[in-house]
């Protein structure tokens, strides 16, 4: 081990990691946990007992014997505990319940009018979580469903001050600036509510479901808006206030530089986001109403839409090249609705290789986020699960 390995290594075998190994099936016994963590059997036993006492792990009958007494198997409880999760987007919200291993139990998509303001939108989404928990087969398994809810994780499509759960200067969210999401929710439910921005939740969800073995990763979320989440030394990196990874107002080369909602011009978001592509196409006289329409045009090989998608991909690649040179991740993955847009992805990749140091791209994986539409609620659930485990 080198000194550089120390921060991640200090986490090895912590309660969260023990729980995760059991949840993912990597470990089914104390002996497995001891082997994976390198911790002594007595330390593992102590931590496992604490997790069992908190209801986060359970013992389920006997496993296979390797001679002598048959070991008891460990499992994440499938009855009696769920977390609620909300991934709020510009026009839709994904709402779900997940078990303590981070597996989606129920999920649905609701239409949302963000301009109705935070009270109306969040009030309706919290009510939906309560309804889902009431219907939840996992939550109902051990009696009262309401008691089963351990916490709610909420993703917001704008900057969130992490310590307070307050929204700060979001684009395209009129009436939400300064709104204290955590306090509003705390007044309506009596479980912990954790708020973060949607790109961070996508990063966490994607990292936990694929490549959790890699310590350094950058996830770009390219949908109506554009942002990114950073995994550093195996953990979500938020920086001092929670704005780490917010690349939306980084300036890119664009002529003419389109005006941005922030008051500047030439921001990445004003050039490469889904909203920017809609605006640019309309400016060229193409009657397109939303991102779905833009993606359809690109899929149909429309010349103007494809050229704009390539330009957007170059802009994302330019910013990402700075990030990759600076941060040296092992994987860069792109998610969100624009991730399926082939011309954008191709020019992003080309720009990245052109602008990065060879050492930074030698083994760099450049991928699509594979986790699908539940990646945000999966990240939201993991935030809560980590909180519950830390509190234990
Ligand atoms: Zn801007």
Instruction: Quick: pLDDT tens for 148-193.
Output: 899 999 999 999 998 899 999 998 899 999 999 999 999 999 899 9
What confidence category does residue 16 fall into, taking pLDDT thresholds of 50, 70 and 90? Answer: confident
pLDDT at residue number 4: 38
Q: How confident is the model at residue 70 (pLDDT cuts 50, 70, 90)?
A: low
Which pLDDT score is estimated for 217? 97
Please give the distance, rounded to the nearest whole angstrom, from the Cα atom of residue 270 to the centre of ligand 1.
Answer: 7
How many residues does this entry show for the chain? 392
Burial class (CB in 10 A: 0-12, 13-18, 19+), 279: middle
pLDDT bin (cut points 50, 70, 90) of residue 364 is: very high
Contact call for residues 269 and 225 (beta carbons, < 8 A): yes
From the CA of 259, how far away is ligand 1's center (Å)? 8
Structure tokens at 133: 């928990």
Q: How remote is the CA of residue 388 from the centroid of ligand 1, in Å? A: 36
- Residue 91 CA to ligand 1 center (angstroms) comes to 21
| Ligand 1 geometric centre to CA of 266 (Å) | 7
Give the Cβ contact number of residue 360 at 10 Å.
18
Ligand 1 midpoint to CA 60 (Å)? 54
Looking at residue 54, what is its pLDDT?
82
What mean pLDDT comes out for the span 108-121?
96
**What is the whole-number distance in angstroms between the Cα of residue 315 and the centre of ligand 1?**
14
Residue 18 pLDDT: 87
C-beta of residue 70 within 8 angstroms of C-beta of residue 52: no
φ, ψ dihedrals at 237, nearest 5°: -100, 115
Task: Look at residue 3 in the predicted model and tell me its pLDDT.
Answer: 37
CA of 319 to the centre of ligand 1 (A): 14
How many angstroms separate the alpha carbon of residue 120 from the centre of ligand 1? 27
Tell me how far apart the alpha carbons of residues 338 and 351 are, in angstroms, rounded to a whole number: 17
DSSP 8-state class, residue 12: T
pLDDT digit string (tens) for 203-212?
999 999 988 8
pLDDT at 11: 56
CA atoms within 13 A of residue 142's CA, in its CB half-sphere: 13
- Number of Cβ within 10 Å of residue 14's Cβ equals 15
Find the 276 Cα to ligand 1 centroid distance in Å: 11
Rg (CA), the chain: 22
Q: What is the average pLDDT value for the chain, to the nearest integer? A: 89
In the predicted model, is pLDDT for residue 314 greater than 90? yes
Please state, in angstroms and rounded to a whole number, the distance separating the CA atoms of residues 76 and 55: 9
Of 59-63, 142-146, 167-171, 279-283, which has the strongest mean pLDDT? 279-283
The residue assigned the tokens 């720009």 is: 351
Mean pLDDT of 13-37: 85
**pLDDT per residue as tens digits for the range 272-282:** 999 999 999 99
Task: Give 255 Cα–ligand 1 centroid separation in angstroms.
Answer: 15
pTM for this entry: 0.87
Cα 114 off chain centre by: 20
- Look at 10 and 129; give whichever has higher pLDDT: 129
Comparing 79-83, 148-152, 202-206, 341-345, which segment has the lowest mean pLDDT? 79-83
pLDDT in tens, 216-243: 999 999 999 999 999 999 999 999 999 9
Q: Which residue in this structure is represented by tokens 């009431």?
A: 134
pLDDT of residue 377: 98
How far is ligand 1, taken at its centre, from the CA of residue 342, in Å?
25
What spacing in Å lies between the alpha carbon of 171 and ligand 1's midpoint?
Answer: 9
pLDDT value, residue 237: 97
Residues with Cβ–ion distance below 5 A, ligand 1: 249, 260, 262, 264, 267
Mean pLDDT, to the nearest integer, of 18-31? 84
pLDDT at 197: 95
Cα-Cα-Cα-Cα dihedral sign, residues 269, 326, 349, 8: negative
Judged by average pLDDT, the poorest of 77-86, 93-102, 313-322, 381-390 is 77-86
């Amino acid at each position: 081990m080198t000194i550089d390995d120390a921060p991640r290594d200090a986490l090895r075998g912590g309660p969260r990691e023990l729980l995760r190994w059991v949840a993912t099936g990597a470990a089914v016994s104390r002996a497995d946990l001891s082997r994976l963590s390198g911790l002594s059997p007595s330390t593992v036993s102590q931590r496992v007992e604490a997790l069992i006492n908190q209801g986060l792990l359970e013992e389920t009958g006997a496993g296979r014997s390797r001679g002598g007494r048959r070991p008891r198997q460990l499992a994440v409880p499938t009855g009696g505990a769920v977390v609620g999760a909300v991934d709020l987007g510009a026009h839709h919200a994904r709402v779900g319940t997940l078990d303590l291993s981070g597996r989606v139990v129920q999920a649905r998509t609701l239409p949302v009018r963000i301009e109705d303001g935070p009270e109306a939108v969040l009030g309706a989404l919290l009510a939906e979580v309560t309804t889902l928990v009431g219907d939840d087969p996992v939550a109902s398994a051990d009696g009262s469903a309401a008691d089963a809810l351990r916490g709610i994780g909420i993703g917001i499509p704008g900057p969130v001050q992490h310590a307070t759960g307050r929204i700060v200067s979001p684009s395209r969210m009129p009436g939400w600036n300064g709104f204290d999401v955590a306090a509003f929710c705390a007044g309506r439910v009596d479980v912990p509510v954790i708020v973060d921005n949607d790109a961070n939740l996508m990063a966490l969800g994607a990292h936990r479901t694929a490549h959790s073995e890699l310590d350094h990763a950058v996830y770009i979320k390219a949908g109506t808006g554009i942002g990114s989440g950073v995994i550093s030394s195996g953990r979500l990196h938020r920086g001092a206030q929670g704005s780490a990874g917010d690349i939306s107002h980084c300036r890119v080369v664009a002529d003419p530089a389109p005006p941005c909602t922030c008051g500047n011009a030439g921001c990445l978001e004003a050039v490469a986001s889904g909203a920017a592509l809609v605006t640019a196409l309309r400016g060229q006289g193409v009657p397109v109403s939303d991102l779905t329409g833009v993606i359809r045009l690109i899929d149909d090989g429309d010349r103007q839409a494809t050229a704009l998608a390539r330009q957007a991909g170059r802009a994302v690649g330019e910013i990402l090249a700075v990030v990759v040179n600076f941060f040296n991740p092992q994987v860069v993955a792109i998610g969100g609705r624009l991730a399926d847009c082939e011309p954008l992805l191709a020019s992003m990749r080309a720009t990245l290789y052109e602008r990065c140091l060879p050492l930074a791209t030698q083994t760099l994986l450049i991928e699509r986020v594979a986790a699908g539409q539940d990646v945000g609620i999966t990240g939201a659930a993991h935030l809560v699960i980590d909180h519950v485990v830390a509190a234990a």
